[in-house]
Structure 1
Amino acid sequence: MRKPFIAANWKMHKNVAESVDFVNQIKGQLPDPAKVEVGIAPQAFALYSMAQAAGKSGLKIIAQNAAAEYNGPFTGELSLRGLRDLGTDYVMLGHIERRRLFGEDNETVNRKVNAALQMGITPIICTDETMVQKEVNGEIHYVFQQLMSVLRGVSLDQIRNVVISYEPSWAVGAGQHANVALAEEGCRTIRRTIADNYTYEIADKIRILYGGSVNPDNIKELMAKSDIDGVLIGRASLDVDNFLKMVNYMEDEESKK
């Protein structure tokens, strides 16, 4: 069974003190790490302090981005080697804002994905709804072409260590209601794309998150869908109470039984 993964993307919000205070407020109220994995992606300058504050709580501190190069003359970039030394388990790559605002293309993201895997850090690969038709064993399937471009060179063994996040452009940062049916359809199509290009066994085990207008009112409905294994939460994750409601969605359901 795929373990649910609830991740927050704080983007360019919260300073170090605010970030550490947030962790201290939530770390005693998180769900059992054996049942639900919880992570937060803060600004880079808060990674170390948040990791220290999280301690053994099970909270994962996620990097929002990293360079494809491990070191060198790349002013302003974030080194995967440094992240590994910090104990970082996950790095988000290919977020739609990185593509829109900073011009990252499939080739750039692909290099970063392969570099992260080589360094032993799990990439959370963000992909949008761009699809193309492809014939597979005589059947027409819709394939996430952007995703397959980003996964170029990723082996059968490595793909098992990847998390994918489906973030349709119409939902990211829009503040509107998530369309649960479309979210599930997109995640299902991603799973089929992985099955067609790798194996059905791998596709059944890989975790696929949904990102876009997730909030306390829709998280239970999203997480009830068979192909949605978790969520990548934006603005709704900035509030402690809202975040705790979302990460503890499973316990809320069990308490009603």
Structure 2
Amino acid sequence: MKKKIVIANWKMNHDFYETTSFLRNLLKFFFEKKINNKKKVIIAPSFPFLHISNQILQGSSLNLAAQNICQMEKGSYTGEVSASMLKSIGIHKVILGHSERRKYFYETNDILLKKIKIALKYGFHIIFCIGETALEREKNEQFLIVKKQLEETVFHCSLEEISDLIMAYEPIWAIGTGKTASPEEAQTMHRYIRSLFIDKYGETISKKMSILYGGSINDLNARNLFSQEDIDGGLVGNSSLEIEKFLKIVQS
């Protein structure tokens, strides 16, 4: 049975004190409540706090992910962080393809494919984000957009390379807006995404693949979303910043 996965994407939030305090309180809750092993929780703090976060969570069931990596292996790329740097401090998961990276930092599918390849070279488990804009949905182009995003990135990988891939469907119009795809809308897209993987890689691995929903998930709508057949958990933004709200989502 697949574990339900909840990922906290903190984006550019939480300073040193807030990060360490949150993680220690999270550990305390998991220990006291004896959270079962059917759930996998991954935290994605900002780059400066990954090392201390890894030290705090050492030996626990909680996991860490980086929010990004550079598509270059090393060199004169001021301000960038390489896969090898992250690996050297014990980080083995990374979020790629988030719409905010695409929008604000002009990450094209070509750049993202390079990031995927460098992440795989260094043994990272990838959480890959896809999703359409409000205008694309209004034009009923959401399925074409999602298919194109996959065909130009993840679908260049081998069957072996996608074996540990986690997909995240995040309709861009729902990220940080308070708008959420209905459980039925989200399930329809998740089923479609899974069907694309089945067509490309076969049923065995595609049905085992975790596909998460992201886009204004909160403690009130999480249970209905997570109960859908093809929704295997969530990539949570704003609601992951407050520990009480995040814990309610985990418990959902």
Does TM, normalized by the shorter one, top 0.5? Answer: yes
2:18 alignment partner in structure 1: 18
Cα distance in structure 1, aligned partners of 2:36 and 2:5 = 10
Aligned pairs for 1:53-64 within 5 A: 53-64=56-67
Aligned length: 240
Query: What displacement does 1:24 show?
Result: 0.5
Q: Structure 1 or 2: larger helix share? A: 2
In the alignment, structure 1 residue 94 sits paired with structure 2 residue 97 = yes
Query: What TM-score do you get using the length of structure 2 for normalisation?
Result: 0.91
Instruction: State whether structure 2 residue 143 is matched by structure 1 residue 131.
Output: yes
Q: Cα deviations across residues 206-252 of structure 1 (Å, max 9, x unaligned)?
A: 11000001001011111111100110001011101111111122xxx
The Cα offsets for residues 142-172 of structure 1, whole Å up to 9 and x where unpaired, read as: 9621112111431011111111100011111
Is contact 1:63–1:90 with CA below 8 Å preserved after alignment? yes
Pairing 1:6–2:9 present? no
- 1:223 match: 226
Partner in structure 2 of residue 77 of structure 1: 80
TM-score (norm. length: structure 1): 0.89
Instruction: Provide Cα deviations, 1:63-114, integer angstroms capped at 9, x if missing partner.
Output: 0000122211111111101111111121000100001111100000011011
Higher mean C-alpha displacement, 53-62 vs 163-172 = 53-62
Is 1:171 the counterpart of 2:180? The answer is no
Q: For residues 1-257 of structure 1, what are the structure 2 equivalents within 5 Å?
A: 1-30=1-30, 32=35, 34-129=37-132, 130-132=142-144, 144-249=147-252
Unaligned regions of 5+ residues in structure 2, if any? 133-141
Structure 1 match to 2:136: none
| Residues 28, 57 of structure 1: 8 Å contact kept | no
Partner SS, residue 218 of structure 2: coil
For residue 129 of structure 2, give the secondary structure of its aligned residue in structure 1.
strand
Deviation (angstroms), 1:33: 6.0
Alpha-carbon RMSD across the aligned residues, in angstroms, is 1.5
Per the TM alignment, residue 28 of structure 1 is displaced from its structure 2 partner at its CA by 2.3
Gaps of 5+ in 1: 133-141, 250-257
1:138 maps to: none
Asked if the contact 2:214–2:235 (Cα under 8 Å) also holds between the matched residues in 1, the reply is yes
- CA distance in structure 2 between the aligned counterparts of 1:33 and 1:8, rounded to whole angstroms: 18
Runs of 4+ in structure 1 off by over 4 angstroms are: none
Contact kept? 1:178, 1:214, Cα under 8 Å: no
Determine helix, strand or coil for the equivalent of 2:13.
Answer: coil
